[in-house]
Amino acid sequence: MIPKSKLLMLLVAIALGIVVMLLPRPEGTRFEIIGDPDQKVLAAVSDAFALYGAPDKEGAYLVEAKAPGTEQCTGQAIEAKIQQLGLADVSVEYDNGLSPRAKTFLAVLAFLVVLFVAEPVPLEITAMCIGVLLIATGVSDVKDAWAAYMNPVVVFIMCCLIFAIALDKANVTKRLAHAVAKKAGDSVTKFTFILAISLGLASAVMHDAAAAAIGFATILPLMRAAGVEPNTNTARFMMMSIPFACSAGGMGTLVGGGRCMVSAAFLKELTGMELDFLDWMLYAGPGALICVPAVVAVVYLVFRPDPKIKLPKYDEEIGPWTRNEIVTLSIFGLVLLSWLLKGFTGLDYSVTGILGVVALVLTGVLKWHDIHTDLEWGTALFIFGGGLALGLAMDSSGAARYFANLFFPLVKGGGWLVLLAAVGVFGALVTNAMANVAAAALILPIVIPMAKMEGVDPRVLALGLGMCTSFAYLLVIGCPPNAISYSFKQFRAMDLTKAGLVATPIMLALVLGVAALWWHIMGLV
């Protein structure tokens, strides 16, 4: 039986989805025809549409309605013509309008956001229902919706969780906790600040999810020993500082997060300009150095820990390194190295991660029973997998593109700082519902032409977007560190949103401050 308050939230979610569905749909006037280099579709609809601009390299082109608002000047009329011509490989996208599929997606998203934040049903169940809803409403097909639940990123998160189990079982995390405790004493605040900031800065050269997994494996035994109860401010501060710091740290170098690499790659593809490893570190590194401790401070101010709670003291010596510690760290180190060298080896994170898990079992550090009983399968498979399915649908339905095309022309003519702020805000919001890599790939092709028209250096937008898509602080599904942290059930999804609502604008303001001061000194702006 669902409690009344949760039933009410469920009804609110349903009502919100229905309201979005009943809102009028902006049809738009421009449509993109994809996969038609011979312009057969344009020839068939030339009485209602005219060519708009030049075709791109792949032969896609824009058409504009001659008589907007009439029945023959709609996207559905073009789709009908494509079917009539039997052009199976040709598709149409809405350029400045909202397609029926995108509107349906927004109704589903509105329903799910309430479930994500208020949790009237367990988040794992909500995550399972994402695939069901996307398929039932026709937003995604069966294959695409469920494929996201076993996406390579999901496998990678699973590997990070298993490494955390191994580090804990081998007592490596106890050694790390001992080292941090020497500096922090028994203070919860000092310990969390030192650990979170250290891992946050380490995220500039290692995957943020892996860094976060080490942090949770280190801090959880201490929380239990100190008697920290779940869903208290102390638990929230300790468990949310780590993912927030690790997400912010990834902006520091080109290898710190996929969004940085994608931003640099799109910049080169669209403009020929290059941001290499050293360039990125020089421009974005100071932002990471400022944002990592700042975001931990924000979480501290939102959830002040109980000063009466003291961490256990390590009076005994930690002892010499054991065989299991050495083996575990060696395997973990090799896997981290393979992740850093992904660009050279071509091996996906998921492949080398699974090989590392196999090595842990073969060397006796872990048994299958350890993985089977200690792994948070709900987080690994469903929560982040469902989030990925939602993000992919946001992109494929055209909803993200619609808002990008609607939003960015509003800031046209405002100068580089206004354009950068708009890119940052949009990127930080969108990345909560779709992977930050996808967000970067979506936004840059739209804003770089605007930058060129306004005389803004495109490198400014590429750097800003790579940095600001690090701030996926609003939803549990926003990024892997959030999902992993939530899996330990020390806080509710609404707590993360509460901290994110404070942290996101502050972090965006810090990035803009770095851009205005540091990039000016460096001669970039």
142 occurs within a structural domain = no
Look at the chain and report how many structural domains it folds into.
Answer: 3
Tell me whether residue 82 is exposed, middle or buried, using C-beta atoms within 10 angstroms of its C-beta: 0 to 12, 13 to 18, 19 or more. Answer: buried
Q: Kindly state whether residues 159 and 195 are assigned to the same domain.
A: yes
Q: Kindly state whether residues 349 and 217 are assigned to the same domain.
A: yes
Q: Kindly state whether residues 369 and 468 are assigned to the same domain.
A: no
Last residue of a domain, one of 51, 70, 97: 97
Among left, alpha and beta (phi > 0; psi -120 to 50; other), residue 306 is beta
479 occurs within a structural domain = yes
- Has this prediction a pTM greater than 0.95? no
Which one-letter DSSP state was computed for residue 38? T
Q: For residue 53, give both structure tokens.
A: 């601009």
Cα–Cα distance, 192 to 188 (Å, whole number): 6
Q: Kindly state whether residues 208 and 332 are assigned to the same domain.
A: yes
Q: Kindly state whether residues 192 and 339 are assigned to the same domain.
A: yes
Q: Kindly state whether residues 401 and 366 are assigned to the same domain.
A: no
Q: Kindly state whether residues 203 and 340 are assigned to the same domain.
A: yes
25 occurs within a structural domain = no
φ and ψ of 31, to 5 deg: -135, 145
Report the first-to-last Cα separation within the chain, whole angstroms: 59
The packing angle between helices 384-396 and 399-407, to 10°, is 60
DSSP letters, 3-18, are -HHHHHHHHHHHHHHH
Q: Kindly state whether residues 369 and 401 are assigned to the same domain.
A: no
Residue 187 β-bridge partners: 310
What angle is formed at CA 323 by the lines to CA 320 and CA 326, rounded to 5 degrees?
A: 85
Q: Kindly state whether residues 345 and 472 are assigned to the same domain.
A: no
Q: For residue 512, give both structure tokens.
A: 């803009």
The pLDDT assigned to 512 comes to: 95
Last residue of a domain, one of 80, 97, 114: 97
User: Whose CA is closest to 249, among 180, 199, 176?
Assistant: 199
User: Whose CA is closest to 230, among 433, 450, 486?
Assistant: 486
39 occurs within a structural domain = yes
Cα–Cα distance, 326 to 473 (Å, whole number): 35
φ and ψ of 228, to 5 deg: -75, 120
Count the helices and strands in the chain (H runs, E runs): 25, 4
Distance (Å) of CA 510 to CA 63, 65, 163, 430: 41, 43, 33, 19
389 occurs within a structural domain = no
Residue 432, C-beta contacts closer than 8 angstroms, at least 6 positions apart: 472, 473, 474, 475, 477, 478
Instruction: Find the domain containing 428 and state its range.
Output: 397-522
Q: Kindly state whether residues 291 and 357 are assigned to the same domain.
A: yes
Cα–Cα distance, 148 to 146 (Å, whole number): 5
pLDDT in tens, 358-406: 999 999 999 999 998 888 787 767 887 887 788 788 878 888 788 877 8
User: Whose CA is closest to 467, among 245, 260, 205, 200?
Assistant: 260
- Average pLDDT in the chain: 88
Q: Kindly state whether residues 411 and 262 are assigned to the same domain.
A: no
Last residue of a domain, one of 97, 114, 142: 97
Q: Kindly state whether residues 210 and 302 are assigned to the same domain.
A: yes
501 occurs within a structural domain = yes
What angle is formed at CA 185 by the lines to CA 189 and CA 165, rounded to 5 degrees?
A: 75
Q: For residue 506, give both structure tokens.
A: 């502050």
499 occurs within a structural domain = yes
Cα–Cα distance, 432 to 473 (Å, whole number): 7
Residue 142: how many CB atoms within 10 A of its CB?
Answer: 10
Q: For residue 18, give both structure tokens.
A: 């229905």
pLDDT tens for each residue of the chain, 525 residues long: 667 788 888 999 999 999 999 999 999 899 999 989 889 999 999 999 999 988 876 778 999 999 988 989 999 999 999 999 999 889 898 888 899 999 999 999 899 888 888 888 888 888 899 999 999 999 999 998 999 888 887 888 788 888 888 988 898 888 888 888 888 888 999 999 999 999 999 888 777 887 888 888 889 988 988 999 999 999 999 999 999 999 999 898 876 766 787 788 778 877 888 888 788 999 999 999 999 999 999 999 999 999 999 988 766 677 889 999 999 999 988 988 887 787 778 888 889 999 999 999 999 999 999 998 888 787 767 887 887 788 788 878 888 788 877 877 787 778 889 989 998 998 888 888 766 766 777 777 777 777 877 788 989 999 998 899 899 999 888 888 898 898 888 999 899 999 999 999 999 999 999 999 999 999 998
User: Whose CA is closest to 9, among 109, 108, 114, 107?
Assistant: 114
Question: In 227-348, which ranges are continuous DSSP H helix?
Answer: 233-249, 258-271, 277-302, 323-340, 342-345
178 occurs within a structural domain = yes
